Amino acid sequence: MRVVICIKPVIDNYSTQALQLNKKGYAVNPYDQLVLKQLLEIKKKQNFELIGLCMGSMKCQDMLFRLLAGGVDSIILLSDMAFAGADTYATTEVLSKALIRIGNVDYIFCGAKAIDGETGQVPYELAHRLNIPVINNVSNIMSMDGDGLQLERQLDDLVQEEIIASPAVIIGKHFTTEEFTVSLLSLKRAKNKKMIIWNHERLELLPENCGIAGSKTKVKKAREINRFRKGEIMKGELNLVSQEMLKIIKG
Amino acid sequence: MMDKVKICVICLDDRPWNLQMISKAISFGTNVTVSAILLRSDDKEHIDYHRYGVSEIHVVNISDSLEQFALTGIITNLNDLLKPDLYMFPASDQGRDFAAEAAVCLKCGLVADCIDINYENEFIFVRTTNSDSVLAEIVCCNGSSAMCTVKKNIFEILPQQIETDTARIHYSSCDNRNFLQGRQILRQYRNTDINEASLSEARIIFGIGRGCSDKIKIDKLRKLAGYIGAEIAGTRAVVDDGIINYDRQVGQSGVRIAPDIYIAFGISGAAQHVVGIDKTKTIIAVNRDKEAPIFRFADYAVIADCEEVIDSLINEVERGGI
């Protein structure tokens, strides 16, 4: 069985843990991270091929080697200047071509959305480009064997367990800020695993159909929303600070 | 000034949401023609949309209440017929799916989760990104129509306008392709864990972050919460750690709260969390790290060890401080 997980690289400080460690660079989108974690958990018990598919800059490679070390079998990095600045339309143009090129894919897993752009449209557009069903709100992946994929969905207050025949696009629900720990040895071994890099030529795509040129939306303006408050520091002996806090609580 | 503009509103079975979209479409002025496409199996309650200013209603009969069906055939036909400048879809799971299908099939740009739409020679869509920390204006290009999904409860429903039954109603059927083949529902049950009421009604909420998540601190915090009458909530990180239930997670992917007082204990202040506490009247943040981002989003900053602060608060309350 062949399974692909789509991974969006996001700027690292979106995950709280990474924020604490003050790292720089790319991290796996936390919504994708949860699906990946569930897949790697099942992979310990059941045998299937797990391919990570990622569109992003060559600088994502460090992040991707960690995934290989964590148990992903191979990584395909779709990296090309022509892919930059893609909206959901241009993104799914490239991803769908890559998935067709990979071939014989049973299930395509995606996170519910990316923590930066937050459109949540890519998995649906991908499914429609590939003309296969899409299963959303998947809270847990239970097993994956010859009988198909068994999963749990959360639909408002209803929990539903289902078996899904292949092929299908599977969309997760929640996210996690937990990064998996990878040993130095497995990281070293991962360097021998396959990291495949495809550009537009390899996918037989015209540059004008990719990235910013192939996009059908463009951002006119963007500004930060200010949520800052006064942040008045409560100084002094702790018991006095506590009394002050209780006064505020009492209103 | 606006040229003749045609807007197509895709209506699913949430009547208020449909009317919110229709009202927004109508509000663009007299030069706009609004058509409603009703994608549903039971249409009776919805065919009065012309009273809200819709000039044409297209009812697409769906033989079964399938979760998914192929929209491509119907959308191509209706697009040829109506040639709309704008498609509006509800930003529900199903709306998102239909919008994606329409965007792929008509090769159009799609803007997700709009909170406003303006018109200046083209449609300008307003949406938030990065956990509601960025406001973006987006336009569609290189396509025959603009497309968007619209968030619920953003636009007001305008009162009924027309008293006559003048709307043209067209019926068509959908090329149902059963996507559910090879899919089997094993079991269904109600999730009894979900209980947001206690958080949405609470006047005081204590938020727990990774900096305050060990058992001793939690026990002390629960004791204090009992004294004061506070509810306990937390960040995604402590949900991951199994310390609190998912239904008590505050933030982008959890609950949004609006209490009078929120005290953040050991919370660093990631954007995803902060967006969930934005409507709080007074925020107090307790954190050892004076650089913690949470302090910028708080009204009051207590730079101290969480456990010491909790101990001191318990001490003051027990001394008769509250």
Inspect the interface and report whether the beta carbons of A19 and B138 lie closer than 8 Å.
no
Question: Is residue A68 scored above 60 in pLDDT?
Answer: yes
Which has more pLDDT, A1 or A23?
A1
Residue-level pLDDT at A17: 43
Domain B197-321 has CATH 3.40.50.2000: no
- Mean pLDDT, chain A, rounded, equals 91
Inspect the interface and report whether the beta carbons of A124 and B260 lie closer than 8 Å.
no
Range of the structural domain that residue A103 is part of: 2-220
Helices B72-82, B93-106: axis angle to 10 degrees equals 70
Residue-level pLDDT at A15: 47
Residue-level pLDDT at A20: 41
Contacts of A35 (CB under 8 A, 6+ apart): A5, A109, A110, A111, A138, A141, A170, A172
Is position A241 within any domain? no
Question: Is residue B50 scored above 90 in pLDDT?
Answer: no
Inspect the interface and report whether the beta carbons of A158 and B190 lie closer than 8 Å.
yes
- Mean pLDDT, chain B, rounded, equals 87
Beta strands across the sheet bearing A158-164: A194-198, A74-78, A49-55, A2-7, A107-110, A168-172, A134-145, A148-155, A158-164, B183-190
Q: A60-64, A144-148, A197-201 — which is least confidently predicted? A: A144-148
Q: What's the CATH number where A149 sits?
A: 3.40.50.620
CA contacts within 13 A on the Cβ side of B93? 15
Residue-wise pLDDT for B236-250, tens only, equals: 889 888 888 888 999
Residue-wise pLDDT for A7-42, tens only, equals: 999 986 554 444 444 455 888 999 999 999 999 999
Residue-wise pLDDT for B74-86, tens only, equals: 888 889 999 999 9
Which has more pLDDT, A180 or A98?
A98
Q: Is B132 on the interface with A (CB under 8 A)?
A: yes
Residue-level pLDDT at B60: 83
Inspect the interface and report whether the beta carbons of B298 and A239 lie closer than 8 Å.
no
Question: Is residue B162 scored above 80 in pLDDT?
Answer: no
Question: Is residue B164 scored above 90 in pLDDT?
Answer: no
| Location of each CATH 3.40.50.1220 domain in chain B | 197-321
Is position A236 within any domain? no
Is position A242 within any domain? no
Cα gap B130→A117, rounded to integer Å = 6
Q: What percent of chain A has pLDDT over 70?
A: 95
Cα gap A10→A5, rounded to integer Å = 16
Q: How distant, in Å, are the alpha carbons of A32, A73, A128, B35, B51 from that of B100? A: 20, 30, 7, 20, 29
Tokens 């997980």, located at residue: A5
- The interface residues of chain B toward chain A in range 233-262, judged by CB-CB distance below 8 A, are 235-237, 240, 246, 253, 260-261
Inspect the interface and report whether the beta carbons of A241 and B309 lie closer than 8 Å.
yes
What architecture is the B5-173 domain classified under in CATH? Answer: 3-Layer(aba) Sandwich (3.40)
Cα gap B271→B208, rounded to integer Å = 15
Inspect the interface and report whether the beta carbons of B143 and A216 lie closer than 8 Å.
yes
Is position A53 within any domain? yes
Q: Is A237 on the interface with B (CB under 8 A)?
A: no
Q: What percent of chain B has pLDDT over 70?
A: 87
A120's tokens: 């949540």
A189, A194, A199, A202: CA torsion to nearest 10: 160
Which has more pLDDT, A158 or A208?
A208
Residue-wise pLDDT for B259-303, tens only, equals: 999 999 999 998 889 988 988 999 999 999 999 999 999 999 999
Is position A112 within any domain? yes
Q: For chain A, how many structural domains are there in total? A: 1
Contacts of B201 (CB under 8 A, 6+ apart): none
Find residue A153's DSSP bridge partners: A138, A160
| Location of each CATH 3.40.50.620 domain in chain B | 5-173
Average pLDDT, integer, range B7-21: 93
Mutate to test the interface with A, among B177, B185, B236, B278 (most CBs of A within 10 A): B236
Question: Is residue B178 scored above 60 in pLDDT?
Answer: no
Question: Is residue A85 scored above 70 in pLDDT?
Answer: yes
State whether residue B225 is helix, strand or coil: helix
Is position A238 within any domain? no
Count of A–B CB contacts within 8 Å?
Answer: 242
Reported ipTM exceeds the 0.90 cut: no
Inspect the interface and report whether the beta carbons of A164 and B322 lie closer than 8 Å.
no
A192's tokens: 């021998």
Q: What is the pTM of this model?
A: 0.84
Give the closest-approach CA distance of A198 to chain B in angstroms: 23
Mutate to test the interface with B, among A238, A244, A247 (most CBs of B within 10 A): A238
A144's tokens: 């994956």
Is position A45 within any domain? yes
Is position A96 within any domain? yes
Task: List alpha helices for B83-204, DSSP H.
Answer: 93-106, 197-201
Mutate to test the interface with B, among A8, A37, A89, A113 (most CBs of B within 10 A): A89
Residue-level pLDDT at B84: 96
Residue-level pLDDT at B192: 63
Inspect the interface and report whether the beta carbons of B304 and A241 lie closer than 8 Å.
yes
Q: Is A45 on the interface with B (CB under 8 A)?
A: no
Q: Is A46 on the interface with B (CB under 8 A)?
A: no
Q: How distant, in Å, are the alpha carbons of A28, A46, A72, A163, A189 from that of A43? A: 19, 5, 9, 18, 18
Assess whether the previous peptide bond of A167 is cis (omega < 30° from 0). Answer: yes
